[in-house]
Amino acid sequence: MASGLGAELKQTKPFASLEEEAALSIARTSAVLDHQISQALKVHGLTPSQYNVLRILRGAGPEGLCRNEVGVRLVTQVPDVTRLLDRMEDTGLISRQRGAEDRRYVTTRITRKGLELVDTLDQPVRGLLQELLGHVSKKNLRALVDALAEVRAKT
């Protein structure tokens, strides 16, 4: 009888390797967390990527960032950052301004509306993360964070 992820997936055969089980466990956990966070943000008309952009731009301050820098900082890479920013600009959450000297350089900044929205979401998102991960010991969370960093460093 399968246990853990195998049971969750109703798998009857063992995984081919511990590495396979680990990779699938990461993917499954990511999907579960992403779904919960997506549902919480959907109420506010945001996707996780849009929320991530607002957090990035809030951190950048009044100087803002160019499109490429926003894209590099995203937690989950998106295929078309320009379209993501277009949609956010249409809703008034961000603004973009072309450079005076180099018209190709466009600075993206969070608007007051975007800042107010992301500020109001801070506590609910923290609460959701506490609900989803708070039962895991700090020691195990630290070990998980460190192990995942080790995986990412190799890729």
Whether 21 is in a domain gets the answer no
Which is nearest to 58 in space by CA: 130, 105, 122? 122
Whether 116 is in a domain gets the answer yes
Cα distances (Å, whole numbers) of residue 33 to 80, 91, 131, 151, 152? 23, 26, 11, 19, 19
Average pLDDT over residues 122-140: 97
pTM for this predicted structure: 0.88
Contact between 3 and 15 (Cβ < 8 Å):
no
Whether 71 is in a domain gets the answer yes
Provide the domain count of the chain: 1
Average pLDDT over residues 106-122: 97
Whether 113 is in a domain gets the answer yes
Question: Which residues span the domain enclosing 62?
Answer: 45-126
Read off the tokens for 7.
Answer: 């049971």
Whether 70 is in a domain gets the answer yes
Q: The domain spanning residue 108 has which CATH number?
A: 1.10.10.10
Each residue of 1-40: pLDDT tens digit?
A: 355 888 888 888 988 999 999 999 999 999 999 999 999 9
